Chains A and B, each alone.
Chain A
Amino acid sequence: MQNQIHIQRFAEENVSEIYKAVRQLIVPGQSHYERLGIFASLHRAWGDDPVRATGKAAASWAAQFSQPFPFFFNKTDWARLLFLIMASEHDADFLTAETFDSMIRRGDHSEQITLAKILFYLPEAGEYRQTAERMIATNSSDVFKSLAHHNPYPMAYFSDLMFQQMVLKALFIDLPSRPILGLDQRANAELFRMANDYVREREIASRSVPRGFAYIESLQAEARA
């Protein structure tokens, strides 16, 4: 819970208007679906403007999470993250693995993107691993990117196999691979083999080398050295 306290303190000091408004939304006696409805409505309320942090706040964030401040969270992401944290403080049974799974299935595009982005910062984040790993199969490249890029969750919780699948899919849909956090630590002989095989297949078919491959190649070279 230490992390969630830090998140709330950051919000109270840096985006107090969001913090205060979301606090008002936690009301006793709300049904489960009402809460999920409020989560959805926060996009209308807060929009897509980014939230910036002062140098001091960003440094304290980095010290707490061993992660850079998530500069790409917009106001909606912050409101939704705070809402889930506060709702689960208020009602310990609210945010379970089942709830998270249901939010992904019932969420629209914007909700799924938010959930992928904020996943790492939710209480008991490890509990949502199965749903998160299944999200790799999403047919939305925006949702996939939110999960794969600048996101500490896969590095922290994904199995080796699913982490590799995510890297391969990034190659496959031609996303860069450098923004995949922890790739330098998670890359192993198995991943290199799969990536090399894929690129060779493409070369035989006279197709271009996916742009994410250069970084993986550089990791291979390092590993050989």
Chain B
Amino acid sequence: MKMFDPHIHMTSRTTDDYERLAAAGIQAVCEPAFWMGQPRTHVGTFEDYFLSLVGWEKFRAEQFGIHHVCTLAMNPKEANQPDLAKGVLELLPLYLQKDSVVAVGEIGLDDQTPAEQEVMAAQIELAIKFNLPILIHTPHRDKKEGTQRCLDIVKESGIAPEMVLVDHNTEETVQGVLDLGYYAGHSVYPHTKMEETRMAKIAKEFGSERIIVNSAADWGVSDPLMVPKTVQAMRDLKISEEEIETIVWKNPLGFFAQSGRLDVEKFETRPSFDQAKLFQDNSVLRGQAPKASGPAAN
């Protein structure tokens, strides 16, 4: 079964992960811009990060037979520095136009400050202007109140509901998000309450329409194989193959295709690759024999 992990921070992962993802059936990933564990303090570091998401990281993914798209935005954790926020907001109209950017995100609230709310609203406005979907990250602390505040900002923006993916849902929040017409994303983490078996139960209860599953794997304790593991857990619960495919392939593909920048037909097959190829004369290899995807690659 083809799978799409719509939220995974591959910049923080190794080539072993890419190999395991490809072997487990992941054919496409979407990498949202996020924070690096500590706040960025200069506008210029955002630029180089954005450029790496549309450049080197995309190349690296394709070298393992995986399509790579990304979403760009300023993270709420970084929105509280006024000069930084202003600088990044000015730059986004440039970077949001790059070819493989398929949404604005992750955006949302963290401490729920007025500055965070302003930056979030401004970025939704940019998404509307550039016809891009948005990826919403709901707060971890004061979750109920914070999620409501996030959804209010989305609603006030007037963006079309089908252009909104709200992430990090649980069985408590999913119905509310679906009722608003949004896509409901679920980040499945190892050794937590939100493990793959619990996710499979949510799928069993709520069906496949606008339900999305991701690993949200990053530099922390996380598991890039959570999408394939959830597929197995859903099979164990006797959810039909058709419904599983909708959740792990058709939904994320259809959601990001709304950007008009994702070639659905191209994604149906793996990118042909040749590890002997270089990106700006840089290689993923360290002296190993290059692998290639077969006679199609050259």
Question: Chain A interface (Cβ within 8 Å of chain B)?
Answer: 31, 33-34, 36-38, 40-41, 43-44, 106, 108-110, 138-141, 143
Which residue on A lies nearest to B100, using beta carbons? A108
Chain B residues in 8 Å Cβ range of A143? 280
Shortest CB-to-CB span from B235 to chain A, Å, is 38
Rounded to whole angstroms, the CA-CA distance of A56 and B138 in the bound complex is 62
Q: Do A44 and B94 touch across chains, with their CB atoms under 8 A apart?
A: no
Which residue on B lies nearest to A103, using beta carbons? B94
Residue from the set A40, A110, A138 with the largest chain B CB neighbour count within 10 Å: A40
Q: Do B93 and A33 touch across chains, with their CB atoms under 8 A apart?
A: yes
Known: A31-B90, A43-B99, A44-B261. 10 other contacts (CB 8 A): A31-B93, A33-B90, A36-B94, A38-B97, A40-B97, A40-B98, A108-B99, A139-B281, A139-B282, A140-B280
Interface status of B96 (Cβ within 8 A of chain A) = yes
Shortest CB-to-CB span from A210 to chain B, Å, is 16
Interface residues in B44-86 by Cβ distance below 8 A to A read 47, 51, 54-55
Chain A residues in 8 Å Cβ range of B96? 37
Question: Chain B interface (Cβ within 8 Å of chain A)?
Answer: 47, 51, 54-55, 90-99, 261, 278, 280-282
Rounded to whole angstroms, the CA-CA distance of A38 and B90 in the bound complex is 14
Q: Do B94 and A33 touch across chains, with their CB atoms under 8 A apart?
A: yes
Residue from the set B47, B54, B94, B97 with the largest chain A CB neighbour count within 10 Å: B94
Top 6 A-B pairs, shortest CB-CB distance: A37-B97, A140-B280, A33-B94, A41-B97, A37-B94, A40-B97
Rounded to whole angstroms, the CA-CA distance of A11 and B94 in the bound complex is 26
Interface of A is mostly: helix
Chain A residues in 8 Å Cβ range of B281? 139-141
Which residue on B lies nearest to A141, using beta carbons? B281
Chain B residues in 8 Å Cβ range of A43? 99
Q: Do B93 and A109 touch across chains, with their CB atoms under 8 A apart?
A: no
Given contact pairs A138-B280, A140-B280, A141-B281, A109 touches B94 in the complex (Cβ within 8 A) = no
Chain A residues in 8 Å Cβ range of B55? 108-109
Shortest CB-to-CB span from A79 to chain B, Å, is 13
Rounded to whole angstroms, the CA-CA distance of A109 and B55 in the bound complex is 8
Which residue on B lies nearest to A110, using beta carbons? B99
Rounded to whole angstroms, the CA-CA distance of A40 and B282 in the bound complex is 23
Q: Do A108 and B94 touch across chains, with their CB atoms under 8 A apart?
A: no
Rounded to whole angstroms, the CA-CA distance of A140 and B59 in the bound complex is 13
Given contact pairs A31-B90, A108-B51, A139 touches B280 in the complex (Cβ within 8 A) = yes
Shortest CB-to-CB span from B146 to chain A, Å, is 31
Given contact pairs A108-B55, A109-B55, A44 touches B99 in the complex (Cβ within 8 A) = yes
Residue from the set A31, A34, A43, A110 with the largest chain B CB neighbour count within 10 Å: A34
Q: Do A108 and B93 touch across chains, with their CB atoms under 8 A apart?
A: no
Chain B residues in 8 Å Cβ range of A109? 55, 280
Given contact pairs A108-B98, A110-B99, A33 touches B91 in the complex (Cβ within 8 A) = yes
Chain A residues in 8 Å Cβ range of B261? 44
Shortest CB-to-CB span from B82 to chain A, Å, is 19
Rounded to whole angstroms, the CA-CA distance of A141 and B283 in the bound complex is 13
Mind listing 23 A-B residue pairs with CB under 8 Å?
Answer: A33-B90, A33-B91, A33-B94, A34-B93, A36-B94, A37-B95, A37-B97, A38-B97, A41-B97, A44-B99, A106-B47, A106-B51, A108-B54, A108-B55, A108-B98, A109-B280, A110-B99, A138-B280, A139-B280, A140-B280, A141-B278, A141-B281, A143-B280
Rounded to whole angstroms, the CA-CA distance of A104 and B278 in the bound complex is 20
Shortest CB-to-CB span from B258 to chain A, Å, is 15
Chain B residues in 8 Å Cβ range of A36? 94
Chain B residues in 8 Å Cβ range of A34? 93-94
Shortest CB-to-CB span from A132 to chain B, Å, is 18
Chain A residues in 8 Å Cβ range of B278? 141
Rounded to whole angstroms, the CA-CA distance of A213 and B90 in the bound complex is 48
Residue from the set A36, A108, A139 with the largest chain B CB neighbour count within 10 Å: A108
Rounded to whole angstroms, the CA-CA distance of A110 and B280 in the bound complex is 12
Given contact pairs A106-B47, A108-B54, A40 touches B94 in the complex (Cβ within 8 A) = yes
Which residue on A lies nearest to B97, using beta carbons? A37
Chain B residues in 8 Å Cβ range of A33? 90-94
Shortest CB-to-CB span from B178 to chain A, Å, is 32
